[in-house]
Every structure is written in C-alpha cells, then in structure tokens.
Amino acid sequence: MWTARSRARATGMVVSMTLTLSLLAGAGCQEETKKPVERPAGTMEQAQMRQIALATARRGTIGGVAYPEGGLRLMRVRGYGLVTGLVDKGSRRCPESLRNYLIDAIRRTRMSDPYRRKTGFEPTAAEMIDSPDTAVVLVEAQIPAGAIKGRRFDVRVTAVDEETQSLVGGVLLQTELKVFQSLSPAAILEGRTLAQAGGPIFINPFREATATAAVIHQREGSIIAGGIATEDRKLSLATVTESYATVRQIQDAINTRFKADPPTASADSPRTIGLRVPAAYRGREGRFLELLLHLPLGGGAEVQARAKILAAELSQPDAPHKELALSLEGIGRPAIDFIRPLYAHANRQVNSAAATAGVRLNDAAAIDVIVRHANDPRSPYRYQAIRELGECQTVPRAAAALRELLDGDDAQVRVLAYESLRMVDRRAVAQTIVGERIENFLLEIVPTKGRPMIYVRRTKAPRIALIGGDRMECRPPLLCADAESPVTLTAKDGDQMVAILRKDPARTLGPYYTSLSVPVLTRFLGSDLRTEIGGKLQGLGLDYGSVVAVLYRLCSAGAINADMKWEEPGSDELLGPLQPVGRPESEL
C-alpha cells in the first residue's frame, strides 16, 4: 500500500545521471501489450506527450520500482595538511587549533614512509611547520560515487595563512580526509578517515592565455589523482514499497545481466538491494547505474512486445530518445531487430539514439551511423559519437574512424578522438611512465598525419599526449627562462642538443644536454634526479606541473613545431559518464 513515505521516495527516484524519476503511479511490472500511443496533431501539448513517452520507457524496469539510495552521490571530504618545498615562499604561521593535529599527522606520515632516511639530520614536525619553506593548507575533494578502496581522485589545496606567497613546486605530505562539515577555517575535523591525499601540487601554467577564465592564484592548486579512497562506498537501491518478491526480482535481473562472483546485487532486506560495481564498470559507475535502472523486470514474449513499443516511441521526433534507447539497451540483443530499421531514419536524433543502443548491444550494422555522426561537423551528436567509438566492441572499424579524425584540423575533435582511440585500441598509443621512485606522469605518443599537437590532462590522471610526437622537435635558436621555473633551456642556431640548467635552492646544476626530440626532452625533464651506472644523469626530477610549464613556454615561443592544448573545463563530461545525482545520503 502506498504511504506518504513511499510517495516521497517515489519523487526521488533517479532513472539517469541527470534526471529524477517521476510519474511512478503507473509504474510496475504489468504485462506490456498495448499499442504505441497515437499522437494526433493539435490534441495534446508537447510536454504531455513527452511525459507519456517517458512513462512508456520506465514501465516494467528496475527504475520504475526502485531508486538509488546509498553511495551514489559525490561525497565531500576535507582535511588539513602541510606543503613542503616552497623555498621561502611559504609561511611560518599556523593556527594554534591545528598545530598539535599537524604535528601528530607528520609523525604518522614519517613512520609509514618507506623512503624515509634512517640517518642524518631530520627536522622535527614542529620545525617543519615553523619553516618558511612550508605552508599549512586546506585540502578538499569529492570522493566519486561508488568508489571502491584504492580509487583515486583529484584534490584541491588552498593556503590557510595569507603570508604564503606561492604553492608552486610544493608537495603535500600525506593528509587524512574526513567527511565535509561546515566548520571554521581552522577547526579540527573529527570522525572516520575516508581517504588520504598527497603529492605534487599542480598550478595552471596556462593562466596567462585564459583571460576569460577565473584567474588561478598561486596560493591555490590541485593534486591530480592525489586522493585515494581508504574504504569502499556502500551502494544500494531502495524499493518504493517493501516487498521480498520485488527485491528478489530486482536482484535476479541485475545478476543475470551483470554476472560476477561475488554477485553484483544482493537482496539485503524487503526494501534494499546492495550493489557491487562490476570490474568492467570501474571508473564508469554512472554508466553502470544508468543501464541498471533501465533493465526490464519481465521476460519472454513480454520483453519482445515491450521492445516493439519502445522502438515505435523512439521513432517519434519529440520523444525522450535517451530514455527510450537506454530501455532498449536494457532489454539486450532481442531489441536489435526492432531498432535496426531506425538506423536509416531521417531524423538525426532518432538515428543517433538508435545506433547508440545498437553499438552498445554489439550490432555491427550500427557502427556506420555512429561513424557518420562523428565525421559530420554539422551533427549536434558529433562529440557523443566520438565518445561512443571509444567504447565500441567493433574495434577495427572504430579505430580506423578515430585515426582519420585524429588527422583533421579541429583541435577539440582531435582531442576527443585521441581519448577514444586510447580506450578502444591501446596498441595505437605508445605509453611510458615517467618517474620510477614515484610515478610522476604518463607520457603517450600517438602517430598522426595531422599537425603535431601536445595535449595535457589536468584532471583524473597526470598525462601528456604528444600527438604526432614522432615528428615533434625543438627548433633552435631557443631560450626558455622564467623566475618561477626550476630550469633554463638554451640552444643556439645549428645546435643538435638542448642545454639545461637546473636551479637548486643552494646552487645551479649543469649544464646538462639532451636531444632536440620533444619525447626525449619530456622524459628527461620528468625522470628521477639521479645518476645511472656509468655516471649519466637519468633526469632532472621536475614535477608534472613544471614539465607542462616548460612545454607551454616552448610552444608559445614557437620553439616546438606543435600546438598545445589542455583539457578544457567541461570537456571531460564528453569523455566519461556524469557522476550520479541522487538523494542526499545518510550513510558513508
């Protein structure tokens, strides 16, 4: 029986990452036998027709009787830590309420550091805090929805004391992150530690070229993939009404589609179903939830009839195409025969949605439609199509289309094509991890017939892509010098090597010489600062942000035969599913 509480739950049900499920009064598992709704012109408002189509898409699915309840929202966490390596640009001051907390945290970090020196001078925790080479910072982050233990995520750091001049070149010591609370800036956080954070701070080196964007102050920065979850987040669904039969039906539908050991779903109570994210969807939790909520609860002839009705609705130009396509995808391969005729539909939105469902169901006939949208500069679904090629199971066809896009002139299309190509065909990208003691960043070289381009990630993973890197070289004469940079690069006209001076707080090291090749130069800048057997220097030990800044200055001066582009705000939404949006959580 429906109660006030169950009605409230119903209004919070989520069927996609951005839409809240509504219209639950007619939702259920009844047999789907009625014909598609006729739509005579002028008899119904467009919004009303859309609501009818939405009800059709949701009827008989998991999302029609249950909603995400736990672990499916971003979780805000924060902590306080100490940044080192600031060379007199930090601050000696520390709020008294944080001092003892930080001293204990530094001691714990030292005890767990496998690279800690066992002999020689080591300042005390109090001396470190009092040094102008360090700064106390506020550390904030959002643990991803559905994150499991070990999942990495980005963090933001902000200097607490106004005397701190810059965090450039700094490294955050290991810091505990706890659930976010609205406290004063210097308040101590209590509660269970949910994540750890640490690593080199990345300051935007492109700030001079982004006048329209918010200026990123040097007292603020980010640590790319610097956070790590220390425990699994609990995931669960809740049914609108309590029913053992319903939760078991949901459990069986999920486990039939997402086979795993241990099972993906478990009926924990008459109202809740616990979830585990399958290995294939790690990092794509939003995509997992999106499909899960559109799985059908029926089977056999009922599903066939439902697929026919959904396909008929999908052919309407004003239909909720994404919802309908997801419900068809949820049905599985039996839906292919009904959506295949829509690949040739004259309406772009219809054929794009149908082909997306078809590609995800591994229908080879759908790939040509997706490729057509990806190649069409006028298609409003171009970016989505390129993303879809990155998850396509028809690897040779998808990879060939992406390579062609990579050779084009549109910088954003080339970036999207590169990101998709590295997912669908790893052999197309040569990867090198730069840094041995601590992994600094990932360097990728991608062949292309187009103009060479350097692409830099600023979220999720420190990664530099040299697109056309096999043809990318420094062009003497060149001079790359900046007061904030730890290195100075020079090469006279006709030189075959680049000379590099490495600035140290106490002295200047070098000159060291390396190749004009940009891949070789990039590896040398970021590799560990140590001498190999035979006396050869392995690298200069620059952090990711410093390496990116050097490449940016060289490109800006025309000293590298390449354009440079970095990950734009918002473009990541085109490369991966949106984080789930759901009800506020009462659990961790």
Domain that holds residue 155: 75-109+124-229
Both 240 and 347 in a single domain? yes
User: Does 210 share its domain with 86?
Assistant: yes
Domain-located, residue 268: yes
- pLDDT band with cut points at 50, 70 and 90 for residue 581: very low
Residue 151 has pLDDT above 60, yes or no: yes
> At which residue do the structure tokens 């005890």 appear?
111
- Residue 376 is assigned to a structural domain of this protein: no
Instruction: Evaluate whether residue 4 is within a structural domain.
Output: yes
CA distance 138 to 562: 37
Same domain, 59 and 98: no
Residues 214 and 241 reside in one and the same domain: no
Asked whether residue 411 is domain-assigned, the answer is: no
Strands laid side by side in the 272-275 sheet: 66-70, 235-239, 272-275, 265-267
HSE-CB at 145 with a 13 A cutoff on CA atoms is 26
Same domain for 478 and 503: yes
End residue of a domain, out of 213, 229, 245: 229
Most confident of 16-20, 222-226, 317-321: 222-226
The answer to whether residues 82 and 186 belong to one domain is: yes
Place of tokens 């070789």: 520
Query: Do 246 and 343 share a domain, yes or no?
Result: yes
What digits encode the pLDDT tens for the residues 277-330?
Answer: 898 888 888 889 999 999 999 877 888 899 999 999 999 988 999 999 999 999
| Domain edge (last residue) among 327, 361, 395 | 361
In the chain, the number of structural domains is 3
Q: Where residue 2 falls among pLDDT bands split at 50, 70, 90?
A: very low
Res. 432 pLDDT band, cuts 50 70 90: very high
Question: In which residue are the tokens 């830590």 written?
Answer: 81
Asked if the structure places residue 276 within a domain, the reply is: yes
Run of H or E including 375 = helix 367-375
- 529 phi and psi, to 5 degrees? -80, 85
Task: Please tell me whether residues 518 and 532 are part of one structural domain.
Answer: yes
Same structural domain, 49 and 91: no
Hunting for tokens 């993303």 — which residue is that? Answer: 387
For residue 532, being part of any structural domain is answered with yes
Give the residue from 5, 7, 3 showing the smallest Cα distance to 27: 7
Tokens of 341: 């005729």
Q: Is residue 400 one of the residues assigned to a domain?
A: no
Let me know: does 71 contact 286? Beta carbons within 8 Å: no
**187 and 299 share a domain?**
no
Confidence of residue 117 (pLDDT cuts 50, 70, 90): low
288 and 175 share a domain? Answer: no
Residue ending a domain, among 202, 229, 256, is 229
Q: Tokens 């616990």 belong to which residue?
A: 274
Rounded-to-integer distance, Cα 492 and Cα 480, Å:
12
Residue 89 and residue 50 share a domain: no
Please indicate, yes or no, if residue 384 is contained in any of the structural domains.
no
For residue 35, the model assigns a pLDDT of 42
